[in-house]
Structure 1
Amino acid sequence: MTIIDDTDGLYLGRAWLPDVQGPAVVTLRDGQVLDITCAAAPTVSHVLDLDDPAAHVRRAPGVALGSLAEIAANPCAPDALHLLAPCDLQAIKACGVTFARSMVERVIEEKAAGDPARAEAIRARIATTIGDSLRNLRAGSPEAAEVKKTLQNEGLWSQYLEVGIGPDAEVFTKTQSMASVGPGADVGLHPISTWNNPEPEIVLAVSSAGVIHGATLGNDVNLRDVEGRSALLLGKAKDNNASCAIGPMIRLFDAGFTLDVVRRAELTLTVTGTDGYALTGHSSMSEISRDPQDLVAQTLGRHHQYPDGILLFLGTLFAPTEDRDTPGEGFTHKPGDVVTISAPGLGALTNTVRLSTEAPEWTFGTRRLMENLAMRGLLGHPAP
């Protein structure tokens, strides 16, 4: 599968340079990956905080690193030129329970206390009732408040329904800055989990002023059993070594690619196992219950500033329920699964599933980045 399907778009990303053992800010022109790192904009965070990031990326002089196809085929290793997650200093935030259909599965996880065998019985008992109640419902609306009363009276209310149809969105920290992995890398599962799945999502690139400048793809790996046991385990379920994949590049907004295109995006997910197992799923942004602009406003504003900007996962419609092995236990990953998330205009993000204890350790943080940029003479110059 082609990693980027529309090369006429305007792209912003990062690549690992083995000769300097550090990252470069890159773009894509005529199928070539160009290093556009400069002292005025040495990070993706700097670029997105410029007055006109798209104009900067379009006109920035660059050094050709090689073709996208060649670089995408390289291993994600310190001694190889390869693509990184297209973010650096930004906070990595995620919105949960933004689609009614997947919200039902969150309720089932909670009621089953993380037990996939119990989940099937609960699904048969309540999923139809809840799903019918929430069809085409806009979160935070007066109609949603009425549905809440009805579900409470029926004993079906849940904390997941509160953030799913109530006025306040669920926004959590997915992982730390620069802990996300990029295309081709291993994605990690905490070894305590035995019930988990990928989550194909759109990820918005947002400046420190709250301006949405573009979008990319992400895999918000979900440990259904861990989070299902208690919502207080959300941090343990979400933030682990290699548990967050983003990429392949941020597509910046321009005349041909806008937020309205994101609102209509259709995502496809494929999972291929070493055992011959194959799964295909979909997520349609048109079914989201909260507008992306509202989710950004609930995350970043006068109530909370992010001076380096944010990357914001928008949630997913996808929630696999079909059995992989044992009847009644649904889907769960196996080591070696290859997960591909794709969407027209955004390309494809492919990762291989490992345990988080087997994926490469995260060692390149903010301090290492600053030291590396300083060594290369890329710090100390204000952006234009």
Structure 2
Amino acid sequence: MRNRDLLPVDLHRALLVGRLWLDGAPRLIAVRAGEAIDISGLAPTMSDLLDMDDPAAAVRAVRGSPIGAIDDILERSTPRRAAAGPFLLAPCDLQAIKAAGVTFVSSMIERVVEERAGGDAAQAEQFRAALVSELGSELRAIRPGSAEAARAKALLSERGLWSQYLEVGLGPDAEIFSKAQPMSAVGFGAHIGIHPRSRWNNPEPEVVLAVSSRGQVVGATLGNDVNLRDFEGRSALLLSRAKDNNASCAIGPFIRLFDDGFGLDDVRAADLMLTVDGPDGFHLSGESSMRQISRDPLDLVAQTIEYHHFPDGFVLFCGTLFAPTQDRDTPGGGFTHKIGDVVEIRSPLLGTLRNTVTTSDLAPPWTFGTRALMASLAGRVNP
């Protein structure tokens, strides 16, 4: 894939903002005419930028300073990146990193499979066919929290099929959890980390909403919400152990700001394509369509902020339709990652997020946190 193909198909009109590591410090950038433009003078952080009354208008108006060709920066954004940069960072900084789970029927069924299999991939297939037969056709058109969903819950309980995952998939309350700490997400080209003890896991291609402190959705990007199926399948109480590990959250390549040419309806209609290419020659491809989501993105945002405040804003993973069942090594063994897998998540209007799989203990340590960012910003003011 050419570097230019990693960007939105309508790049000429897409308003892209991101973060770049250069000479020991993060910079805010915009993409214009194939160039990365330093717009750090517009706002100190991405959180501040997205909290402006009209971020899109502000980015259009600022002149900024050219840094270099975006193709060259994409080329340098690899796991073997130079310490001084330039390379892309995750496009968020101070924002909370939240995620919604079980927002698609197929992924809801897979969570139940994990639970019934006790996190054992070898046992998954025997449960999957029966559950799809029992649940799939009945649940796809049901709106969570509706009277019809309540009747379905009662029926499933009678059949002995009830699950905590069906509760958040069908009930009024969405599953909203903290995916990672602010500043901890990795960006385009970086290593993405799998827990070293996990033996059953997969990527999760998702649309990620960029939300201001006022709860206004101002843009969108792509994310990989790595899923450890064995950990969470053993117990839902292991969710934080399964989700929040070093380098286990990838976001990028850029946030596309909402404007007259791109908005929430484009997010609602977004199609995501995923490929995994392994060092063993294995190839996996799949798709996820936001058209099949069971909860509207604005409902997910509303439930996130209903009883919580986010003074720095937040980014929100919307969930995924994709749950791979293709066997990789042994019949019935399903899919799991291997070190060296290259994962690409693409959506035509958002570009491509590419990462290379390693384990969380071997991924570069997270060292540049909020305190380091504050020190870096203070150094700009008082050099």
Q: Could you say which residue in structure 1 is the equivalent of 2:33?
A: 30
In the alignment, the residues of structure 1 paired with residue 202 and residue 195 of structure 2 have an alpha-carbon distance, to the nearest angstrom, of 12
Indicate whether 1:329 and 2:328 are aligned.
no
CA contact (8 A) 1:189 1:354 kept: yes
TM-score, structure 2 normalization: 0.96
**Residue aligning to 1:13:** 18
Contact 1:14–1:86 (Cα < 8 Å) also in 2: yes
Mapped partners of 2:129, 2:87: distance in 1: 46
Q: Corresponding residue for 1:382? A: none
Distance change >3 Å, CA 124–CA 378, structure 1 → 2 = farther
Inter-CA distance 378–289: structure 2 relative to 1 (3 Å threshold): farther
* Partner Cα separation in structure 1 for residue 382 and residue 62 of structure 2: 15
Match of 1:223 in 2: 228
* C-alpha distance in 1 between matches for 2:198 and 2:52: 42
1:77–1:143 distance in 2 versus 1, CA, 3 Å: farther
Is structure 2 residue 312 aligned with structure 1 residue 308?
yes
Deviation track 1:162-183 (CA, whole Å, cap 9, x = no partner) reads: 0011000000000011110000
**Offset at residue 123 of structure 1 (A):** 1.1
Q: Which residue of 1 aligns with 2:265?
A: 260
Over 3 Å counting, the alpha-carbon distance change for 1:148 and 1:376 in structure 2 is same
Q: Paired residue for 2:189?
A: 184
- The DSSP-based 3-state class of the residue aligned with 1:280 is strand
**Are 1:78 and 2:83 an aligned pair?**
yes
CA contact (8 A) 2:21 2:84 kept: no
1:33 maps to amino acid: A
- Tell whether the 8 Å contact from 1:208 to 1:305 is kept in structure 2 after alignment: yes
Q: 1: distance between equivalents of 2:145 and 2:348?
A: 30
What is the TM-score of this pair, normalised by structure 1?
0.96
1:73 is paired with a residue whose SS is helix
1:207 to 186, 208, 212: 212
Matches within 5 A, 1:300-379: 300-301=305-306, 303-377=307-381
Deviations 1:196-216 (A, max 9, x none): 000000000000000000000
Q: Distance in 2 between matches of 1:335 and 1:130?
A: 35
SS at match of 1:106: helix
Partners of 2:354 and 2:217 lie apart in 1 by 24
Q: Is the CA contact 1:42–1:378 (under 8 Å) kept in the aligned structure 2?
A: no
Cross-structure match for 1:59: 61
CA distance in 1, matches of 2:238, 2:50: 33
- Give ranges in structure 2 of 5+ residues lacking alignment: none
Q: Any gaps of 5 or more consecutive residues in structure 1? A: 380-384
Partner of 1:156: 161
Task: Judge conservation of contact 1:215–1:250 (CA < 8 Å) in 2.
Answer: yes
Distance 1:263 1:124 in 2: 29
Answer whether contact 1:16 1:84 (CA < 8 A) is retained: yes
Q: Deviations over 1:138-190 (max 9, x none)?
A: 11111111111110100001000000110000000000111100000000001
Does the alignment pair 1:134 with 2:139?
A: yes
Distance 1:120 1:152 in 2: 22
- Mapped pair 1:251 → 2:264: no
How far apart are 1:126 and its partner, in Å? 2.2
The alpha-carbon deviation at position 125 of structure 1 amounts to 2.5
In 2, Cα distance between the equivalents of 1:89 and 1:135?
Answer: 36
- 1:376 partner SS: helix
Q: CA deviation at 1:300?
A: 1.2
Supply the distance in 2 between the matched residues of 1:266 and 1:210 (Cα, whole angstroms).
Answer: 24
Mapped to 1, the partners of 2:82 and 2:127 lie a distance apart of 44
Q: 2:232 aligns to what SS in structure 1?
A: helix
User: What RMSD over aligned residues (CA atoms) do the two structures have, in Å?
Assistant: 1.1
Q: How much has 1:133 moved relative to structure 2?
A: 2.0
Q: Is the 8 A contact 2:211 2:218 kept in 1?
A: yes
CA distance in 2 between partners of 1:309 and 1:79 (Å): 29
Alignment partner, residue 44 of structure 2: 42
In the alignment, which of 4, 7, 22 is matched to residue 7 of structure 2?
4
Moved over 2 A (4+): 75-78, 124-127
What amino acid sits opposite 1:126 in the alignment? L
Shift of 1:259: 0.1
Q: Is the 8 A contact 2:99 2:318 kept in 1?
A: yes
> Residue 279 of structure 2 aligns with which residue?
274
Q: Distance in 2 between matches of 1:80 and 1:10?
A: 23
Q: What is the alpha-carbon distance in structure 2 between the residues aligned to residue 128 and residue 246 of structure 1? A: 35
In the alignment, residue 329 of structure 2 is paired with which amino acid? D
Whichever residue aligns with residue 341 of structure 2, its letter is D
Residue among 281, 296, 301 paired with 2:301: 296
The residue type equivalent to 2:30 in the other structure is T
Contact 1:94 1:314 in 2 (8 A): yes
